[in-house]
Chains A and B, each alone.
Chain A
Amino acid sequence: MTTPLLEVSALEAGYDDALILRGVDLAADAEQIVAIVGPNGAGKSTLLKAVYGLVRARAGSVRFDGEDVTGVRADRLTRRGMNLVPQVDNVFPTLTIAENLHVGALVLPRAERQAEIVRVLELFPLLAERHRQRAGSLSGGQRKLVALARALVARPRLLLLDEPSAGLSPIAIDLVFEKLVEIRSLGIAIVIVEQNARRALALADIGYVLDTGRNAYSGPGRTLLDDPRVVDLYLGGSRSGTIASSSTSTSTPSGMNPAT
């Protein structure tokens, strides 16, 4: 068995005196969508930040492409081929769309930047039309697309997405999730943290359920969706309509709270 592109082992991290992650394992490989779901406060977002060096790891390790990158600075991880789309504050608001992408492409050799921007804009015709508009003037959904495009122009091998559907309209969510499938087909590994657990697991090749900073369940996304324990504890208890669960209305954040 080959080593996965991203391998997180027994990672512990937190803020000041609050330990949030208490030993989390995770692996992601090329052309995979990995979904991390779990109740509020489970440590999903902290996990992404700890992987990216934005929150300091206290124990455990993060390996990327076979190398230990625990605690490596964010800009260096970006140069190595990781990228992150934060949940909020994910664009440079006073810069135009084109300038946002240009900044994202700075990690590439100068001669390749423009071609890469053009290539990524083909994925996002909406952004190509408005490339001279300031990112701060866009809607939340459009900003998410700018943020995705900004990450993609750096030609990442691994993309981390924090709550890609949060705050978006159902139509915008469909758009973003469709893009994720397209991005996966480019050979990129995608790790998403998502409140919308049913939707994320339906999309994911591999799912991880986190609870209070530890791995609770993991496995293929479809398997988790059908696992009665996962459904009862983390997906609001109703298994009827696992298929229809793709619609946004059935899994609200409050439905995510475990019985405990």
Chain B
Amino acid sequence: MFLQLVANGLVTGSVYAIAAVGVSLVYGILRLVNFAYGDMMAFGALIAYGVDGPLHQSMIVAALAGMAATAALALALDVVLWKPLRARRAGFMSLFLASIGLALVLRQALLLAAGSQPRSYRVNPYRVFVLGSVRLSEQQLIAVAAAAATIVAVGLFLTLTTVGRVLRAMADDRALAAVAGIDVGRATRVAWLISGLLAGLAGVLAALVEYSFDPNFGFQLLLPVFAAVVLGGIGSAYGALAGGLALGVAQEVSTWSGFAGGVNPVYKPVVAFAVLAVALMIRPQGFFGQARVG
């Protein structure tokens, strides 16, 4: 039972981790807490649904379409919303509030366009794989595998490639990056592109894992994703990965009966924030965050 919960936690945590990296990347570079990220995930999941259901394409094609569409949405939003706000030197709070407004607009637009009824991808939820004492559905396995591949790919990208280094340099110091000769506008668009791709992927995986989803489901994922970002150290992509996995596992394991009878699964989000609060008391800058002086 315990192992099963850990496995379930890794599945949930994988989705959190991918989304948390997307949030963290943009936060690191723009100091923008993107409250609309959950709704961007829902957008990606719904586009994939449209390609999977009505268009009868394979789930892989659907997922790629969802990712591409979400990346395009992220880039478009940078042009029409975020870039003009930056040009007017909007502060942290203005950007945050703008993202809350964007979240509401996106969600209502999705509800209007797609309707609020729950839907599912054309996958068989009863196909189960048994690994020792752990049983995972096909979708859960896909989520874990896709997350693992993404995590490795993002890690290698940030560490080894020039663009990855440029993004980390921008997250460290945007003004200095410009002085070093980096076109910060272009690098910002790259960050949005990757953040959008990750939002689309996380949305599709979350929809697969939850099996049934509606346009509201992104918002419910947002708070644990933010918690994962903070837990890992705000602005650190590696931290976001670790924070997401840790949070997913903690949530699931908290329901284990050997753990004081287990927490009622209804309270999983509470567990996420309890973990966050305790972790921050021990390490205020998060797992991978830089302790800032002054």
Contact = CB atoms under 8 A, between A and B. Distances in A.
A73 B290 CA distance: 30
A84 B178 CA distance: 10
A104 B181 contact: yes
Given A86-B176, A103-B165, A94 B181 contact: no
Contact of B173 (A52, A84, A89): A89
Interface residues of A, number: 27
B234 to A, nearest CB: 13
Interface string B170-196: 011101111111111000000000000
B180 A103 contact: yes
B166 interface: yes
Nearest to A156: B181
B162 interface: yes
A92 B169 contact: yes
B107 interface: no
B180 A95 contact: no
Interface string A62-105: 00000000000111001100011010011111110001101110
A103 B169 contact: yes
A219 interface: no
B183 A75 contact: yes
Given A94-B290, A136-B290, A78 B179 contact: yes
Given A79-B181, A103-B165, A92 B290 contact: no
B172 A92 contact: yes
A99 B165 contact: yes
Interface in A136-181: 136, 150, 154
B182 A95 contact: no
A126 interface: no
A106 interface: yes
B179 A84 contact: yes
A216 interface: no
A78 B181 contact: yes
A103 B178 contact: no
Nearest to A90: B176
Contacts of B172: 92-95
A78 B178 CA distance: 8
Contacts of B177: 92, 103
A34 B214 CA distance: 65
A93 B290 contact: yes
Given A94-B168, A95-B168, A99-B165, A52 B179 contact: yes
A84 B176 CA distance: 9
Contacts of A52: 179
Contacts of A75: 178-184
Contacts of A233: none
A107 interface: yes
Contacts of B184: 75
Contacts of B169: 92, 95, 99-100, 103
B179 A107 contact: no
Nearest to B182: A75
A208 B236 CA distance: 44
Interface string A190-228: 000000000000000000000000000000000000000
A54 interface: yes
Interface string B5-38: 0000000000000000000000000000000000
Contact of A83 (B173, B179, B182, B183): B179
Contacts of B171: 94
Contacts of A104: 180-181
A92 B179 contact: no
A86 B181 CA distance: 14
B179 A74 contact: yes
Contacts of B175: 54, 74, 86, 89
A54 B178 CA distance: 10
B179 A103 contact: no
B28 to A, nearest CB: 10
B142 to A, nearest CB: 33
Given A75-B184, A94-B172, A136-B290, A86 B179 contact: yes
Contact of A154 (B165, B166, B178, B180): B180
Contacts of A54: 175, 179
Contact of A92 (B168, B178, B181, B183): B168
B241 to A, nearest CB: 15
Contacts of B173: 89, 92-93
B167 to A, nearest CB: 11
Contact of A73 (B166, B176, B178, B236): B178
16 contacts: A54-B179, A74-B179, A78-B178, A83-B179, A86-B179, A89-B173, A89-B175, A91-B176, A92-B168, A93-B172, A94-B171, A102-B165, A103-B177, A104-B180, A106-B182, A136-B290
* The 4 residue pairs across chains A and B that have the minimum distance between CB atoms: A78-B181, A107-B181, A92-B172, A74-B178
Given A86-B176, A99-B168, A106-B182, 10 more contacts: A78-B178, A79-B181, A89-B176, A94-B290, A102-B165, A103-B182, A104-B181, A106-B162, A107-B180, A154-B181
